[in-house]
A and B are shown apart, each in its own frame.
Chain A
Amino acid sequence: MWEALKRLYHRMGSPKWFYEISTRWLPWFAIPAGLCLIVGTVWGLAFAPADYQQGNSFRIIYIHVPAALLAQSAFAMMAMAGAVFLIWRMKMAAWVAASIAPIGASFCFLALITGAIWGKPTWGTWWVWDARLTSMLLLLFLYFGVMALQQAMDTEDNSAKAGAILSLVGLVNIPIIKYSVDWWNTLHQPATLTLTEKPAMATEMLIPLLIMIAGFYLLFATLVFLRTRNKILWHERKKSWVNKLIQTPAGRS
């Protein structure tokens, strides 16, 4: 088992191998992602029962919660890929980290937007300085910082290293930011504006949510694969295997 894992890990370091294997893996992520998203959306929007307090407006939860979850775990994944790059100097890890950054930022933005849309009917305003909203906003700023830094560096290698260092520093800081923002808000605003006490969610509501979360993760994996494949092609464009790939009409090896 351990040996097999180690072998897989070493192979992952080869762009060519990753490109070929991901061609085979892609449908296994993309198709279930599409299915989960369709089933989850239809079930969540049309068949799940309405909330007894918020009525139908709660249904945005099926986009909001998966996006927020993913935005946070994507940052952790980006930092871990960065650490792999810093420690083992594996180019592939740097490309994966660079692919994750804009995708994670988009999910973070999506979570903020859906949060604002949800806030309007429930809280009566688009934006409140609620602890959760604020820490999501700061997470978005962290993503922006990482992306800006990656872009400003003049060499590929430096951009990857700087991004990795910053995302690791950010990873250590995220829990601190989250808890200090929670603490700040509970002191300044009493709980008038926080979400209604989360009632243990009914199963009929929970199942579509879980399906949506699975769908979002699969979609995320698909997107990361696609972006990483593009990066591989770009960086290896002078290699013979890429040239051969481009010249074969079907584009498949």
Chain B
Amino acid sequence: MSLVTATIKRDLVIAARNPGEWLNPLMFFLMVLALFPLAVDPDPNFLAKIAAGVVWVAALLSTLLSLDSLFKADVEDGTLEQWLASGESLYAMALGKAFTHWCISGLPLTIVAPLLALMMNLPENAYSALFFSLLLGTPILSLLGAVGAALTAGVRSGGLLLSLVILPLYTPILIFGASAVYHAGIEMEYLGQLGFLASFLCMAMTLTPFAVAGALKLNLSR
């Protein structure tokens, strides 16, 4: 078994044994959603109108929440040095880490989101758009987020810094994701937006691991 698959397996096992790791972001997602009807307006027609954007914003925030710890433990206990000494490509390792992050944050969120959208009174024909846009969009959030996580891994209280660094980069995904759901809701074509998300995903998969690998090496000198 290569180092990358071993690491993916280890991280998934750890997540399975500490359900909080993947449950907490989900609960956060639910709570953020609950704030909007309370703060703005519980009127179903109004909620239906903002549901697409609100669900996407909440998904983005809850992904951000779990990013902070992505590389922290590996940097602190010296696992990172072992990766580098092993000669295994950091590029593959970065992809693998982003994949595990997606498995414990993006994937459960994608599965649960349609259920929660029910509470936001999302129009019925927008459900498939919501599911597919999250399925394509959340991996991009994990990949871009891995860059930020690697850059801030050695910084004390890096969580806030991570959000500052990463949020502007997330805007295109938010725009296309929310717009796909919104347009599906008013019975318009939304395949174009999904196409954009898919092309962003391809781009993120090929380019971000370089940045992650470069950023991880920063943590060696300390």
Contacts and interface: CB of A to CB of B under 8 A. Distances in A.
A21 interface: no
B147 A148 contact: no
Contact of B171 (A138, A153, A162): A138
A184 B173 CA distance: 11
Query: Chain B interface mostly helix, strand, loop or mixed?
Result: helix
A149 B161 contact: yes
Nearest to A178: B172
What is the size category of the interface that chain B forms with chain A? 20 to 34
Interface in A163-203: 165-166, 168-170, 172-173, 176-177, 180-181, 183-184, 187
Contact of A180 (B152, B168, B172): B172
Given A176-B200, A181-B171, A165 B215 contact: yes
Given A145-B165, A177-B168, A161 B218 contact: yes
Contacts of A172: 207
A93 B118 CA distance: 53
A148 B168 contact: no
A168 B208 CA distance: 11
A158 B154 CA distance: 10
A183 B175 contact: yes
A148 B214 CA distance: 19
B65 interface: no
A149 to B, nearest CB: 6
A173 B169 contact: yes
A144 to B, nearest CB: 7
B151 A138 contact: no
Given A152-B158, A154-B222, A176 B172 contact: yes
Given A152-B158, A161-B214, A166-B147, 18 more contacts: A142-B168, A148-B165, A149-B151, A149-B165, A152-B161, A155-B221, A157-B221, A162-B151, A165-B147, A165-B214, A170-B168, A170-B169, A177-B168, A180-B172, A181-B171, A181-B172, A181-B175, A184-B175
19 contacts: A142-B168, A145-B166, A149-B161, A149-B165, A154-B155, A155-B221, A158-B154, A158-B222, A165-B215, A168-B211, A169-B144, A173-B169, A173-B172, A176-B200, A177-B168, A177-B169, A180-B171, A181-B175, A184-B179
